[in-house]
Amino acid sequence: MGFFDYLKSILKIFQIKKTVRLGLYGPVNAGKSSLANKISLDWLGEEMSEVSKIPHETREIKVKEKVKIRSSGKELDFNLIDTPGIATKVDYEDFLKYKLSKSEAKKRAKEATQGVIEAIKWLENVDCVLVVLDATENPYDQVNVTIIGNLAARNIPVLIVANKIDLKSANIKRIESAFPQYNVVGVSALKGTNIENFYKELFRTVR
């Protein structure tokens, strides 16, 4: 390797270090896009993803580049990567109850399956991950275990976000006891509850 190649590779390392590629992963409907929107709105003044109560709203990776976040007296650049929710099954008939036509539902299902595959492929392209879980749901779900286990095997730092704490049945404790060696921070992406604390935990996780 010549001197300039060497120099280039060093520069490359610095470039990668400069911007944190932050992936938002999790099961369908947990609020990944809502949280991505909240972060993007807080620091760029604009939202980045579509949100819907219909599952599999995000079916393609959405990236928002150069999001400068300040917290705890530090400043970091992030690329926010909103991913399609991960599922082990997709049935177009589940979409019919949301008043989608049969052909719309089938199209959505097809795109959803491709979205899941894309989300998994993108695990290669992230430096840090927010695993977004719906705190009203049972955390002992295989999809959660698979995502977190996979990130652990890749040594990617993880912050678990227990979302929807504005809802009565939200249970952060249950998530903490399912994943005891992870930091868990409760938020409401919808209402913005505890978001300052979330940024603090994010910076601790990135380090």
Ligand X SMILES: Nc1nc2c(ncn2[C@@H]2O[C@H](COP(=O)(O)OP(=O)(O)OP(=O)(O)O)[C@@H](O)[C@H]2O)c(=O)[nH]1
> Out of another protein, ligand X, Mg ion, none, which partner does residue 116 contact, by CB within 5 to 8 A per kind?
another protein
Tally of CA atoms within 13 A in the half-sphere of 177 that contains its CB: 4
Q: How many angstroms separate the CA atoms of 159 and 172, rounded?
A: 13
Where do contacts with ligand X occur on this chain (CB under 6 A)?
26, 28-34, 51-53, 55-58, 84-85, 163-164, 166-167, 188-190
Shortest Å distance, C-beta 180 to Mg ion: 28
Please state, in angstroms and rounded to a whole number, the distance separating the CA atoms of residues 112 and 118: 10
* DSSP, residue by residue, 114-161: HHHHHHHHGGGG-SEEEEEEETTS-S--HHHHHHHHHHHHTT--EEEE
Closest CB 32 distance from ligand X, rounded Å = 4
**CA distance between the termini of the chain:** 31
Q: Per CB under 5 A, which region of 52-60, 65-73, 104-112, 192-200 contacts Mg ion?
A: 52-60
**Residue 207 neighbours by CB distance under 10 Å:** 8
- Pairing type for strands 19-25 and 62-71 reads unpaired
Give me the 2-41 binding string for another protein, x by CB under 8 A, dash otherwise.
----------------------------------------
What does the per-residue mask of binding to Mg ion show for 1-40, with x meaning CB under 5 A? -------------------------------xx-------
| DSSP H or E stretch at residue 107 | helix 102-121
Compute the half-sphere exposure of residue 83: CA atoms within 13 Å on the CB side of its CA. Answer: 30
What sign has the CA pseudo-torsion 168, 192, 95, 120?
A: negative
Q: Which is nearer to another protein, 72 or 114 (CB)?
A: 114
Question: Does 205 help bind Mg ion (rule: CB under 5 A)?
Answer: no
| Minimum CB distance to another protein, residue 29 (Å) | 15
Taking the complex as a whole, how short is the minimal distance between the CB of residue 142 and another protein, in angstroms?
5
Min CB(7)–another protein separation in Å = 35
Does 145 sit near another protein (CB under 8 A)? yes
Residues that bind another protein (CB under 8 A): 86-91, 109, 113-114, 116-117, 120, 123, 138, 140-142, 144-146, 148-150, 152-153, 177-182
